[in-house]
Amino acid sequence: MITEDMFTIILLFSLFIIGESEIYIVTIEGEPVISYTGGVSGFEATAVEADETLDVTSDLVSSYSLHLESKHDSLLETLFDEGTYKKLYSYKHLINGFAVDLSPQQAETLRGSLGVKSVDKDWKVRKLTTHTPQFLGLPTGVWPMGGGFDRAGEDIVIGFIDSGVFPHHPSFRNPDSEPYGPIPKFRGKCEVDSDTKKSFCNGKIVGAQHFAKAAIAAGAFNPEVDFASPLDGDGHGSHTAAIAAGNNGIPVRVHGYEFGKASGMAPRARIAVYKALYRLFGGFVADVVAAIDQAVYDGVDILNLSVGPNSPPATTRTTFLNPFDATLLAAVKAGVFVAQAAGNGGPYAKSLVSYSPWIMSVAAAVDDRRYKNHLTLGNGKILAGIGLSPATSPNQKYTLVAANDVVLDSSVTKFSPTDCQRPELLNKNMVKGNILLCGYSFNFVIGSSSVTKVAQTAKTLGAIGFVLAVENVSPGTKFDPMPIGIPGILIIDVDKSMELIEYYKASTLRDWTGRVKSFKARGMIGNGLEPILHKSAPVVALFSARGPNIRDYSYRDADLLKPDILAPGSLIWASWSPNGTDDVNYIGENFAMVSGTSMAAPHIAGIAALVKQKHPHWSPAAIKSALMTSANILDRGQKPILSEQHSESETLIFVPATPFDYGSGHVNPRAALDPGLVFDAGYQDYLGFLCTTPGINYHELLNYTHHPCNYTLGHPYNLNSPSITISHLVRTQTVTRIVTNVNEKETYTITTRMGPAIAIDSSPRSMTIGPGASRRFTVTLTVRSVTREYSFGEVMLKGNRGHKVRVPVVAMGYHR
């Protein structure tokens, strides 16, 4: 099975195959639509206030957009001869600039030209790749509050920057019983399938476009594999869209077995598809920025980004300032909530790929569902393994035959017959009616062999089932169970595999040449179709990226907590594209079980849609605050959440999780709908954060935001976020926060706790806040002892009406 980490290796390797792309993202002087306040003769202001929706139908917006595009064209035509460059996109709504394909020498000419503010070489992005509605309490605790599952997310549009969609999947069908009506506020376009001549939209899907101009210019795009349309040739995009907004109650059937019923978090929400990711190479920032720009222009409410950079952009000094994050800041200014996958670089520190405070960065959890199986040997030993398969006949043991003992010809060993990928290499008469024993080689790691092919080989040869034994594996390798159409099991523990092999050797009689005279080893495979539910859930997944957050590419710590929140992201069932090739074990299937922070982010996007539905006028920051302050730090057994980690010997262990693993904690949808208080913030607050970030380049800031630094927070940790982080605490620092009451009048008591190295106090100790009112409070942190390690704690605001608002606190003391 190809994991997301292996896919990253393939993407990075493809850079050397494809060659360097000469694509640049250029910003120029002049305000984009979203922040243009007037001043250009003949064009009235189009700027929106913070969190106000952009009116895309306005003639003012249309005319000013055309004006900006003509300026882009004029600049290029003035500088370069026709045919020596190719403009790919004009960015007009969120940033003012364009993407262009030209030579490095021409890029230098652009950099020195009057009116040009920045020229950034394009860089690559990659994907950061059911039972969870029940695990999160949606059917009984949240959906009824919005009118039931058939109204959950009604009229909320979620935009997906991903690999497209398979529109014919039942998760995206427009139901006959409750058909979707028009949604006037949304103005998205719908591309037409060139083969069927039918629209990719159907009422549930309200927008479907693809963006590949940068990929084409770079020579990376292959229309035979990537599809020049919104059609999902990968599976990833269909999966993320269904997690957030797939229809409710869709039977999950794979290989003839049903694994429950799937539903999105907001099953009545609409889906807008912006395809900018592709199977073999991921994507290019120029295409992604164009997709984001279009999504906000179209009027999406929520934006899901299960995507992150391959590497830091080379031309920017801080993690928060580049065309990608600047475009998302403008999206948030327009009132769009953004959820982004935190990354899959865990469990290592500073492995995040989502940095900015205006984005909700989502870590991945293992939920309460585990799939296990077992193999019972003829000697009575039971070996644990994994495999979503039916059992062999009860109380009946079958003969085990190893693939290398049933090859038709010794010359076929060059084809790795023990992988069991080619049935024509093995003797059918010797395999039929028995259990085929195969070996897990490096071919499975790189994707040239698959468990699905093993199952197909066993079935073709008439085997009762198969066992795939892992004899050698890199420490820390993680195996995910996968559905199998016949009895089958993967023995992933090397010691258990050795027990199996020793039993087989001892039970198999051979002649003096080593040829088998009699197969005497026996076994039976258990039932792996039913999950086991654990109380020790959620647990932070091993692969989930960890903090601390970084402020620059020297990896210096930022005064901002990331990730923000934890959501289910391991072994998630959701829709798949039959065209999808992202996982060889699910080719041709309609559903897949996939892991990654890619799967965690759409959980948050869908839950944010439910919050937006109940509170339509809340800002993105208020929605983010509601999700964070209501999150859980205890598992279902009411014990502190644990985190998967590597021991010194690289074996899997469980350690107490910290805010660098889960941010504020695991999402609690029901509590997020009624948080009591919110920590609100807007565009000016984010500018203040940028202006006070150490090492910020004010010229760069002006280039990307069109605003000078005339507003400061004093310190970046004074941003009004629902977390507090001081990476370099010297003696005593006081942090300010402002809360707004979104419920009835309530009196809150404020308590604090912190690790022994740092003292913490708050002022006032209690406060009464009326409906819609805001109150300020301070938190003072003092270094008690210098440990050069982070201390963790919290500020808890408990209301007399039952609301609990939790703020995680993280600090490292440097001087007393």
Whole-number percent of the chain with pLDDT over 70 = 90
Q: Which residues pair with 653 in a beta bridge?
A: 645
534-572 pLDDT, tens digit per residue, is: 667 799 999 999 999 998 888 899 999 999 999 999 888
Q: How confident is the model at residue 141 (pLDDT cuts 50, 70, 90)?
A: low
Catalytic annotation, pick one of 51, 101, 155, 162: 162
Contact between 571 and 538 (Cβ < 8 Å): no
Q: What is the pLDDT of residue 374?
A: 92
- Mean pLDDT taken over the chain: 87
Please compute the mean of the pLDDT values over residues 462-473 and round it to a whole number.
Answer: 90
Q: What is the DSSP string of 324-393?
A: HHHHHHHHHHTT-EEEEE--S-TTSTT--S---TTSEEEEEEE-SEE--EEEEETTS-EEEEB-B-PPPS
Per-residue H/E/C for 520-544: CCEEEECCCCCCEECCCCCEECCCC
- Find the angle CA(237)-CA(239)-CA(240) to the nearest 5 degrees: 70
Q: What is the pLDDT of residue 699?
A: 82
Residues 6+ apart with CB under 8 A from 697: 317, 318, 321
- Find the angle CA(39)-CA(41)-CA(43) to the nearest 5 degrees: 80
Q: Across the chain, how many H-helices and E-strands are there?
A: 19, 41
DSSP at 405: G
Contact between 201 and 312 (Cβ < 8 Å): no
Cα gap 4→582, rounded to integer Å: 9
Q: How many alpha carbons fall within 13 Å on the CB side of residue 596? A: 30
Please compute the mean of the pLDDT values over residues 715-731 and round it to a whole number.
Answer: 96
Catalytic annotation, pick one of 236, 374, 706, 803: 236
Q: How many C-beta atoms lie closer than 10 Å to residue 666's C-beta?
A: 27
Helix, strand and coil content of the chain, in percent to the nearest 5, comes to 25, 30, 45
755-792 pLDDT, tens digit per residue, is: 999 999 999 999 999 999 999 999 999 999 998 899 99
Cα gap 296→273, rounded to integer Å: 12
Strands 157-162 vs 302-305: parallel, antiparallel or unpaired = parallel
Specify the range with the lowest mean pLDDT, choosing from 84-93, 435-444, 680-689. 435-444
Cα gap 125→122, rounded to integer Å: 10
Q: What is the pLDDT of residue 588?
A: 81
Contact between 580 and 239 (Cβ < 8 Å): no
Q: What is the pLDDT of residue 701?
A: 85
Strand (E) or helix (H) holding 705: helix 698-705
Catalytic annotation, pick one of 598, 625, 630, 791: 598
Q: What is the pLDDT of residue 468?
A: 93
Cα gap 621→554, rounded to integer Å: 28
Look up residue 516 and give its two tokens: 């088998």
Contact between 389 and 486 (Cβ < 8 Å): yes
Q: What is the pLDDT of residue 487?
A: 94
Q: Bigger pLDDT: 416 or 505? A: 505
pLDDT higher than 90, residue 147: no
Radius of gyration of the chain (CA): 28
Q: How many C-beta atoms lie closer than 10 Å to residue 788's C-beta?
A: 8
Cα dist. 213→86, 284, 306, 309, 387 in Å?
10, 9, 20, 18, 42
Could you tell me how many residues make up the chain?
816
586-643 pLDDT, tens digit per residue, is: 778 888 888 889 999 999 999 999 999 999 999 999 999 999 999 999 998 899 999 9
Q: How confident is the model at residue 54 (pLDDT cuts 50, 70, 90)?
A: low
Cα gap 434→420, rounded to integer Å: 14
Contact between 769 and 739 (Cβ < 8 Å): yes
Q: What is the pLDDT of residue 205?
A: 95
Strand (E) or helix (H) holding 714: none
Cα gap 212→378, rounded to integer Å: 57
Give me the amino acid identity at 421. Answer: Q
Cα gap 370→462, rounded to integer Å: 30
155-184 pLDDT, tens digit per residue, is: 899 999 999 999 999 999 988 778 898 888
Q: How confident is the model at residue 15 (pLDDT cuts 50, 70, 90)?
A: very low
Q: Could you tell me which of 61, 93, 75, 62 has the C-alpha nearest to residue 24?
A: 75
Look up residue 586 and give its two tokens: 């699910």
Is residue 598 annotated as a catalytic residue, yes or no?
A: yes
pLDDT higher than 70, residue 727: yes
Cα gap 17→178, rounded to integer Å: 49
Local structure of 644: helix, strand or coil: strand
Q: What is the pLDDT of residue 246?
A: 92
183-218 pLDDT, tens digit per residue, is: 888 999 999 988 888 999 999 999 999 999 999 998
Is residue 449 annotated as a catalytic residue, yes or no?
A: no
Q: Bigger pLDDT: 129 or 693? A: 693
Cα dist. 182→37, 154, 202, 295, 536 in Å?
32, 12, 11, 18, 44
Specify the range with the lowest mean pLDDT, choosing from 55-59, 276-280, 330-334, 628-632. 55-59
Specify the range with the lowest mean pLDDT, choosing from 293-302, 471-480, 516-525. 471-480
Please compute the mean of the pLDDT values over residues 707-731 and round it to a whole number.
Answer: 91
* pTM as predicted: 0.88
Q: How many alpha carbons fall within 13 Å on the CB side of residue 493? A: 14
